[in-house]
Structure 1
Amino acid sequence: MNLFVFGLGFSARRFVERERSRFAAIRATVTDPDRARAIEAEAGLPVRVFGPDADDPRIAADLADTDVLLVSAPPGPDGDTALARHADAIRASRIRWIGYLSTIGVYGDQGGAWIDETTEATPRSARSRERLAVERDWLALGAETGKAVQVFRLSGIYGPGRNPFVKLREGKAQRIIKAGQVFNRIHVDDIAAALAASLERPRNGAVYNVTDDEPAPPQVVTEHAARLAGLPLPPAVDFETAELSPMARSFYGENKRVRNRLLREELGLALRYPTYREGLAALKDDAAG
């Protein structure tokens, strides 16, 4: 069984690292030639350069020799670049399982209410509307071809090298206070486990919320990390006056509590890190610096 990955980012690479032994061959793409060479040297993977301005000619042959396709690249200005350029090759291939990594942002603002996979997607931001459109394009391909296409809507991703400990040590952490605001999170290892579970139980047209069990205020998570690491708390900052990028500020415009019902009921997955407490406790190396 061979794997091809469009977009070898943080989550996709963790899946490759955890599940490498199940695949006879793994090929992947990144957008930067230097990064491609570095990953090939470090991980021994064939890496192709693919993006808005590049399309390695070997990709078509790679897809013809692929059984499992993971799509982790963000949408381009005209939709999904992989679909736009390689839909025919994917249709003609022996690929039997396709996973598309999306975001819980497609649900938009739910006023802090609990939601699950049955909740209508009502994205507010342009980037979430693009994600939803691409989800639908991939699901349409699955309906057309019979290939099992699954969509995984991810909440805020954290893991080794990408977590509150890193920001605390770098002096970049903030305790931003906005009344009633909560976010869900997901450890990158639980993302990998969800993908692996889906490989064992493919279902064409499935949509899964890949998220933890306990949405929490962001400042509470920062405070817990600081206590674990023995680091001083950053000062509390009111959301209205906080210095945030436009993208970061937009996240606070959406408030929801997301359930992962289908992960448990359909895929039989028990999260290794069901809340931020277990997840942060496992990241002690990052806490120590």
Structure 2
Amino acid sequence: MNLFIFGLGFTGRRFAERARDRFQTVRATVTDPAAAARIAAETGFTMRGFGPEADDPRIAEDLADTDALLVSAPPSEQGDPVLRRYEEAIAASRIGWIGYLSTIGVYGDQGGAWIDETTPPAPRSARSRIRLDAEAAWFALGARTGKAVQVFRLAGIYGPGRNPIVKLREGRSQRIVKAGQVFNRIHVDDIATTLLASLDRPRPGAVYNVTDDEPAPPQVVTEHAAALTGLPLPPEIDFETADLSPMARSFYGENKRVRNGLIRDELGVALAYPTYREGLAVLKDEA
């Protein structure tokens, strides 16, 4: 079996590294040619360019020789870039499993309520509406071709090199307080575990929330990271006066508690890091 990944970023690379023993060949795309050469040398993966201007001409041939496809490349106002360029190549291929990485942002603001996969999406931001449109486009491809398309709605991703402890060490952390605000998170290894479980149990049209068990206020997570490491705790900043980018501020406009029971009940996933406490405990000693 062969794997192809559109968008070998933080999550896609972790999954590919975990899945490499299951596939004869792993091929993947990045937008930066220099990054492609470096990643190929580090991992042994076959790397292709997939940029806004031009693609590696071998991608269509690769897709014809692919069994499982993971899509991590983000959509734009012009739609999903993979479908826009390769829908027919994918439709004509032997690909049987397609995983599309989306976001719990498609649920919009739920006023802090608990929600699950049966909750109707209500995206508030333009980027979340675009994500929901991309989900629908991939499901349409699956319905047309009979291929098993699964959508994975991810919470805030953290892991090695990308977590609250790193921000504290680098002096980039802010302890922002907004009354009642919580966020779900998910360790990158638990995403990989979920994708691997889905490969074994494909279900066409499935939607899975990939989150931890305990949505928590962001300042509480920062405080725990500081307590674990002995690093200085930044002062509290009221959300209304915080210096945040428009995108970061928009995240605080959505408040929800996302259940993850389906990945447990249907896919048999046991989270290695069910809360931020377990996740940060293994990250506190990383270089």
TM over 0.5: yes
Tell me, yes or no, if the aligned pair for 1:113 and 1:257 is still in contact at 8 Å. yes
Tell me, yes or no, if the aligned pair for 1:52 and 1:76 is still in contact at 8 Å. no
User: For 2:77, what is the secondary structure of its paired residue?
Assistant: coil
- Which residue type is aligned with residue 233 of structure 1? L
- Which residue type is aligned with residue 118 of structure 1? T
Question: For the residues of structure 2 that align with 1:221 and 1:126, how far apart are their CA atoms?
Answer: 28
Question: For the residues of structure 1 that align with 2:99 and 2:33, how far apart are their CA atoms?
Answer: 25
- Which residue type is aligned with residue 258 of structure 1? V
| Matched residue, 1:144 | 144
| Matched residue, 1:243 | 243
- Which residue type is aligned with residue 214 of structure 1? E
Which blocks of at least 5 consecutive residues in structure 2 are unaligned?
none
Equivalences for residues 150-165 of structure 1 within 5 A: 150-165=150-165
| Matched residue, 1:95 | 95
- Once the two structures are superposed, residues 190-242 of structure 1 have per-residue CA deviations (whole angstroms, 9 ceiling, x without a partner) of 00000000001000000000000000000000000000001111000000000
Answering whether residue 192 of structure 2 is matched by residue 192 of structure 1, we say yes
Q: What is the root-mean-square deviation of aligned Cα atoms in Å? A: 0.7
Question: For the residues of structure 1 that align with 2:43 and 2:202, how far apart are their CA atoms?
Answer: 28
Tell me, yes or no, if the aligned pair for 1:79 and 1:130 is still in contact at 8 Å. yes
Tell me, yes or no, if the aligned pair for 1:123 and 1:129 is still in contact at 8 Å. yes
- Once the two structures are superposed, residues 73-121 of structure 1 have per-residue CA deviations (whole angstroms, 9 ceiling, x without a partner) of 0003311111011000000000000000000000000000000000000
User: For 1:237, what is the secondary structure of its paired residue?
Assistant: strand
User: For 2:160, what is the secondary structure of its paired residue?
Assistant: coil
| Matched residue, 2:43 | 43
| Matched residue, 1:27 | 27
- Which residue type is aligned with residue 27 of structure 2? R
Answering whether residue 73 of structure 2 is matched by residue 70 of structure 1, we say no
Question: For the residues of structure 1 that align with 2:192 and 2:216, how far apart are their CA atoms?
Answer: 22
Q: TM-score, normalised by structure 2?
A: 0.99
Structure 1 runs (4+) greater than 3 angstroms displaced: none
Question: For the residues of structure 1 that align with 2:179 and 2:39, how far apart are their CA atoms?
Answer: 43
Question: For the residues of structure 1 that align with 2:228 and 2:18, how far apart are their CA atoms?
Answer: 27
Tell me, yes or no, if the aligned pair for 1:51 and 1:81 is still in contact at 8 Å. no
> For structure 1, which segment, 76-85 or 232-241, has the greater mean C-alpha deviation from structure 2 after superposition?
76-85
- Once the two structures are superposed, residues 241-280 of structure 1 have per-residue CA deviations (whole angstroms, 9 ceiling, x without a partner) of 0011111000000000000121011111111100000000
- Which residue type is aligned with residue 218 of structure 2? P
Question: For the residues of structure 2 that align with 1:43 and 1:235, how far apart are their CA atoms?
Answer: 41
| Matched residue, 1:255 | 255
| Matched residue, 1:233 | 233
User: For 1:51, what is the secondary structure of its paired residue?
Assistant: coil
| Matched residue, 2:113 | 113
| Matched residue, 1:169 | 169
Which blocks of at least 5 consecutive residues in structure 1 are unaligned?
none
Question: For the residues of structure 2 that align with 1:35 and 1:82, how far apart are their CA atoms?
Answer: 20
User: For 1:79, what is the secondary structure of its paired residue?
Assistant: coil
Question: For the residues of structure 1 that align with 2:76 and 2:59, how far apart are their CA atoms?
Answer: 18
Question: What is the number of equivalent residue pairs in this alignment?
Answer: 287
Shift of residue 173 of structure 1?
A: 0.5
Question: For the residues of structure 2 that align with 1:187 and 1:128, how far apart are their CA atoms?
Answer: 21
| Matched residue, 1:223 | 223
- Which residue type is aligned with residue 215 of structure 1? P
- Which residue type is aligned with residue 119 of structure 1? T
> For structure 1, which segment, 60-69 or 37-46, has the greater mean C-alpha deviation from structure 2 after superposition?
37-46
User: For 2:161, what is the secondary structure of its paired residue?
Assistant: coil
User: For 2:50, what is the secondary structure of its paired residue?
Assistant: strand
Question: For the residues of structure 1 that align with 2:80 and 2:88, how far apart are their CA atoms?
Answer: 14
Question: For the residues of structure 1 that align with 2:269 and 2:7, how far apart are their CA atoms?
Answer: 25
Shift of residue 53 of structure 1?
A: 1.2
Q: TM-score, normalised by structure 1?
A: 0.98
| Matched residue, 1:125 | 125
| Matched residue, 2:205 | 205
- Once the two structures are superposed, residues 57-86 of structure 1 have per-residue CA deviations (whole angstroms, 9 ceiling, x without a partner) of 100000000000000000033111110110
